[in-house]
Amino acid sequence: MNAETVNQAYLFLIFILNGFLVGIIFDFFRILRKSFSTPNFMTYIEDTLFWIISGLVVMYSIFIFNNGEFRAYIFIGIFLGIITYMLFLSKIIINISVKLISIVKSFTCFCFRIIMFPINLIYKFMNVILIKPIIKLSTNFYKTLAKFKKKFYNTNNKAKKVRNIT
């Protein structure tokens, strides 16, 4: 084999691996969608990010490994890499990643509950000991003030009526 054929075989292998990398990037966004619910506009943003990132990865590889020359075997290698990855590794990686993310989410929720437990106790204690009595006191004060206002208003109206009569 001559050196040019070996070099092209090496480049073909590099771009098959590049196709694997594009498949991994694609699966990263699929894993995000399966693990976290996202609105539609976020899905469009993720799709755009996927195409930008994978395009940059492919262009970077073409410029670094093949001096910016576009050849058909490059795109065939990328396509073969993506297909091979999707057929043999994609489901395994997605299942493992989604399970790991759900474990991390569960652990995070558990830690959050542990942290929030004393805070909730303090809040309930403050509510029972301080806030409710203050609210009750202010409610009683308001009722007393309303009774006083009513008596004063009635007394004031009687006084006006007496003045108007005389």
Q: Comparing C-alpha atoms, which of 89, 105, 93, 77 is closest to residue 16? A: 77
pLDDT > 90 in the chain, percent:
52
Question: pLDDT at residue 52 above 60?
Answer: yes
Determine the average pLDDT of the residues in 126-140.
Answer: 70
- The domain total for the chain is 1
**Crossing angle for the helix pair 40-66 and 72-88, nearest 10 degrees?**
130
Task: Kindly state whether residue 109 falls inside one of the protein's structural domains.
Answer: no
Buried residues in 118-148 as b, exposed as e (16+ CB within 10 A): eeeeeeeeeeeeeeeeeeeeeeeeeeeeeee
Give the integer Cα–Cα distance in Å for 8 and 71: 10
Q: Which residue has the higher pLDDT, 81 or 109?
A: 81
Provide the whole-model pTM.
Answer: 0.69
pLDDT tens track for 4-49: 889 889 999 999 999 999 999 999 999 999 888 888 999 999 999 9
The domain in which residue 15 lies consists of: 3-88
Task: Kindly state whether residue 78 falls inside one of the protein's structural domains.
Answer: yes
Give the integer Cα–Cα distance in Å for 28 and 41: 18
Task: Kindly state whether residue 128 falls inside one of the protein's structural domains.
Answer: no
The alpha helices in 36-131, defined as continuous H runs, are 40-66, 72-88, 90-126
Task: Kindly state whether residue 127 falls inside one of the protein's structural domains.
Answer: no
Task: Round the average pLDDT of the chain to a whole number and report it.
Answer: 85
Q: Which residue has the higher pLDDT, 145 or 23?
A: 23
Give the integer Cα–Cα distance in Å for 99 and 102: 5
Task: Kindly state whether residue 34 falls inside one of the protein's structural domains.
Answer: yes
Output the pLDDT for position 78: 96
Task: Kindly state whether residue 10 falls inside one of the protein's structural domains.
Answer: yes
Task: Kindly state whether residue 64 falls inside one of the protein's structural domains.
Answer: yes
